[in-house]
């Protein structure tokens, strides 16, 4: 077997690799790139290995590499994931902008495909990559359009900025919190968040009722290290951020918590938290109505309205449940603030057009639901908290 030449960059930069064969070369020397080993076996297949950043891990094998050859040819590539099954279906691009699905097969070793290669790099990825720069560009454009000032809420393990923004007025006391990209490969959830925020900002800009009452905190990309490094799940602190909302051992979750503490210490009332993810199918993970949260039926009302708006195109799947002690974002909001936490999950293979359509209606119906909820409804009866006088 012919083994590859390993090229690694410094800790704070994406860890990337390249491997050279006689007439084929592979590389992952770009943001979010991922490739750990490659071999040419006796069958003439190029066997590429992708390893998780940590073990144990909730496996979501990420791969993102390029391949080229000075001579146009068809090659067979086998992707292996340290014994884990593949989750994402391969996409290819010749410009890292436009991506198309490609035929593949699976077996006990992993995933295999045939690639048409030539002197121009062909890129292969688990999902259409969404690098950190895409968040920067979106924030810059949205800030100009809707007149808000992005700020740095904290720093990642590697020192990358955690960008955030608020829509707020000093006289408003009720806060809604949105967080995204805790898990780097979950790109369909990021597509939903961008579409949700675009609609949310457009609607709230013209909806004086909402902005005259509610403040909003948004942290679109809480794991820029994992995104840059092409991680499967974790940040550079070797932990799943969505299992850290209890001990706050990671600087990313700790930065958001510190801001939430500033809100509540200043007399603010957090009324809802939602984070965006991807999984195998569309689902909203919610808090059961019999938990100690208020208002009890608010999320059911919202999702019923969303279903009415999208019926025939989208099936709303509400899956209530709790995860005490696991450090999950939505559970933290239920346990600490006694309000609804929601995990907005988008199916891995959902088309972007459908995802954006649903997210747009999710934003509209949530705004209407929050507007229709009286302030006193966000307080638990007989709780130490006291509802404001109105």
- Residue at a domain's end among 125, 142, 174: 125
Give CA angle at 109 (103, 111), nearest 5°. Answer: 15
Mean pLDDT of 19-39: 95
Range from 87-101, 148-162, 201-215, 260-274 carrying the lowest mean pLDDT = 201-215
pLDDT given for residue 246 in this prediction:
98
Residue 120 clears pLDDT 90, i.e. is over it: yes
- Residue at a domain's end among 70, 103, 125: 125
Residue 155 clears pLDDT 60, i.e. is over it: yes
Distance CA 368, CA 302 (A): 8
Q: What is the domain count for the chain?
A: 2
Residue 184 CA from chain centroid, whole number: 6
Question: Could you tell me if 31 and 177 lie in one domain?
Answer: no
Distance CA 50, CA 81 (A): 5
Question: Could you tell me if 77 and 171 lie in one domain?
Answer: no
pLDDT given for residue 205 in this prediction:
76
Mean pLDDT of 101-123: 95
Question: Could you tell me if 84 and 197 lie in one domain?
Answer: no
Q: List the domain range (segments joined by +) for residue 342.
A: 132-378
Question: Could you tell me if 120 and 140 lie in one domain?
Answer: no
Write the CATH number for 158: 3.40.630.10
- In terms of Cα–Cα distance, which of 252, 138, 151 is closest to 191? 138
Mean pLDDT of 43-50: 97
Q: Which two structure tokens, joined as six digits, stand for 247?
A: 């001990």
Residue 389 forms part of a structural domain:
no
What does pTM read for this prediction? 0.93
Distance CA 285, CA 287 (A): 7
Residue 48 forms part of a structural domain:
yes
Contacts of 253 by beta carbon, 8 Å cutoff, 6+ apart: 222, 241, 244, 245
Residue 376 clears pLDDT 50, i.e. is over it: yes
Distance CA 216, CA 94 (A): 39
pLDDT given for residue 107 in this prediction:
86
CB 295 within 8 Å of CB 374: no
């Amino acid at each position: 077997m012919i083994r590859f030449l390993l090229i690694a960059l410094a800790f704070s930069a994406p860890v990337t690799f390249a491997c050279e064969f006689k007439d084929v070369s592979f590389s992952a020397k770009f943001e979010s790139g991922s490739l750990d080993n490659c071999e040419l076996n006796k069958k003439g297949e190029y066997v590429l290995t992708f390893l998780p950043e940590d073990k144990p891990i909730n496996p979501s094998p990420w791969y993102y590499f390029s391949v080229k050859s000075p001579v146009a040819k068809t090659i067979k590539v086998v992707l292996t994931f340290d014994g884990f099954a593949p989750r994402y279906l391969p996409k290819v691009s010749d410009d890292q902008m436009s991506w198309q699905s490609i035929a593949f097969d699976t077996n006990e070793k992993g995933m295999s495909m045939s690639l048409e290669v030539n002197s121009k790099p062909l890129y292969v990825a688990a999902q259409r990559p969404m690098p950190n720069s895409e968040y920067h560009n979106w924030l810059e454009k949205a800030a100009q359009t809707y007149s808000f000032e992005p700020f740095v809420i904290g720093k990642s393990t590697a020192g990358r900025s955690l960008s955030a923004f608020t829509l707020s007025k000093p006289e408003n006391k009720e806060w809604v919190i949105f967080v995204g990209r805790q898990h780097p490969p979950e790109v369909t959830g990021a597509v939903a968040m961008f579409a949700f925020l675009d609609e949310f900002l457009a609607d709230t800009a013209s909806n004086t009722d909402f902005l005259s009452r509610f403040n909003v905190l948004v942290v679109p990309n809480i794991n820029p290290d994992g995104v840059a490094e092409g991680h499967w799940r974790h940040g550079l602190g070797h932990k799943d951020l969505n299992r850290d909302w209890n001990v706050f051992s990671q600087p990313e979750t700790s930065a958001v918590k510190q801001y939430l503490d500033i809100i509540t210490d200043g007399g603010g009332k957090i009324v809802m938290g939602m984070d965006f993810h991807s999984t195998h199918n569309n689902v909203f993970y919610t808090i059961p109505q019999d938990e100690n949260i208020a208002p009890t039926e608010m999320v059911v009302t919202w999702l019923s309205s969303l279903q009415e708006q999208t019926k025939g195109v989208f099936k709303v799947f509400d899956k209530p449940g709790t995860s005490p002690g696991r450090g999950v974002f939505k559970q933290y909001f239920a346990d600490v603030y006694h309000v609804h936490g929601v995990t907005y999950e988008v199916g891995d293979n959902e088309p972007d057009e459908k995802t954006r359509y649903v997210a747009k209606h999710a934003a509209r119906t949530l705004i209407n639901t929050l507007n229709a909820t009286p302030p006193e409804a966000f307080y638990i009866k007989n709780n130490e908290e006291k509802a404001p006088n109105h």
